[in-house]
Structures are given as structure tokens and as C-alpha cells.
A and B are shown apart, each in its own frame.
Chain A
């Protein structure tokens, strides 16, 4: 069955960096677009980035553009999110999510999430 397991969250100071990982299994990872979505008490669910199946194209929400970078390693069935210049408002649970094949931005599988806390 489809499994997505995030890791790499933790406590980081403002302006710090963190790299999240998502290990995928149970499906052909290289066939699917993938996204990162975050959830905070103040802002609810917020999509922040997606990457196409080949890794050739990425797209970001305005709130993270220029600070976050999404990438993938299809050989290792892994998705990444490099987060730089972290701010208090980036505090959230970060989920990786699979997009349904041929239906952009419809999220049919989600990981359990990893908590990122930005605080001094």
C-alpha cells in the first residue's frame, strides 16, 4: 500500500535552516507529481510547493518562494524540502502528499507529517 514517511522536523531558530525528507513506498514514485502541504493552527492547510514527476518543474506558494526548495530523488523514492530563512510563521506540521495521476493538485495520499517549530 502507499506509504509516505516524513522526517527531519524539529526546533530551529529564526533565520535557521532545516531539510525535510519524505520516503515513499508502495507505488512507482517517479510516475507522480508530489507536493508539500503544511498545517498550522493559525493558517489551516496551506499548499506550499509541488514538483513534477521528472523533477523538471517546481512551483511554490508566494509565502515560501525564494526561501524553500523542493526536490526529489526518483532513484531513492524520496522527496525533499530545503527550508532556509525560517520564520515564526513557518511553524507547522509539514506533510508530503502524492498528487493523483493526471489530476493536478488533487492529493490522494498523505504522510503522517513532521513538526517544524521556529522559535528562539
Chain B
């Protein structure tokens, strides 16, 4: 199984400041035949299910604000919130869908400082 790790476990950022979350996979999730990274990011607010934010490591879902961006390739990925808003307080998970069983990272909790 591909093991996903995230850092930090939690971070507190002032409103309007940048938040950066890292995700690492134990094996590459870059599929060479199509040059796509099979990596997604989800946002989970308290009492709600996860919501898909980004797929293919960097493609925002429809309706996701452009302050959210994803980057990285192979085994190392980053989710950046360029200017933190109060409504962004949540836990963020990365997930690989390169191979079954698809696996999630342990999550990073983002709070307002």
C-alpha cells in the first residue's frame, strides 16, 4: 500500500496570511503514460464530510476559490492557501488514487492565529 504522510499536523495562521501544507507519498503517484499525478486534496470542516478541492495535484474543482492551489509531482506535494479566510478553518487531507487501496494522509488542521 502507498503510505501518505502530511506535515505539519496542525498550523495556526493569521487571517490574510499564507498557509502551506505538505504531503508525501511512499511511492511515486505520477503515471508515466499520461504524465498525471494521481493526488487529490480534500477539505473537511467540523461536522461535515470531506469535500474534494483539488485533483491531479493541481486542478481546482469547480467553485473552489483561487486562493487554494496545489503543486508538486512524484512523491512530494503542497497545498497552499494564499490568503487565509475564516471559512478555511478545517482539516485538509491528501489522497492518492494511483493504486488500490487508495489511501489518505492523516490530515492537517488549519486554525486562525
Which residue numbers of A lie inside 8 Å of B, CB to CB?
44-47, 50, 59, 61-62, 95, 100, 103-108, 110-113
Chain B interface residue bracket vs A: 20 to 34
Given A44-B107, A45-B93, CB of A105 within 8 Å of CB of B49: no
Which residue numbers of B lie inside 8 Å of A, CB to CB?
40, 42, 48-52, 55, 61, 93, 95, 97, 100-107
Closest A residue to B48 by CB, please name it: A112
Instruction: Give the CA-CA distance A92 to B93 in the complex, in Å.
Output: 17
Q: Cβ of B55 and Cβ of A106 under 8 Å apart? A: yes
**Besides the contacts A47-B102, A106-B40, A110-B51, what 8 more A-B pairs have beta carbons closer than 8 Å?**
A44-B104, A47-B103, A50-B100, A103-B55, A103-B97, A105-B97, A108-B61, A113-B49
Q: Cβ of B100 and Cβ of A45 under 8 Å apart? A: no
Instruction: Give the CA-CA distance A94 to B50 in the complex, in Å.
Output: 12
Instruction: Give the CA-CA distance A59 to B100 in the complex, in Å.
Output: 9
Write the nearest CB–CB distance from A67 to chain B, whole angstroms.
16
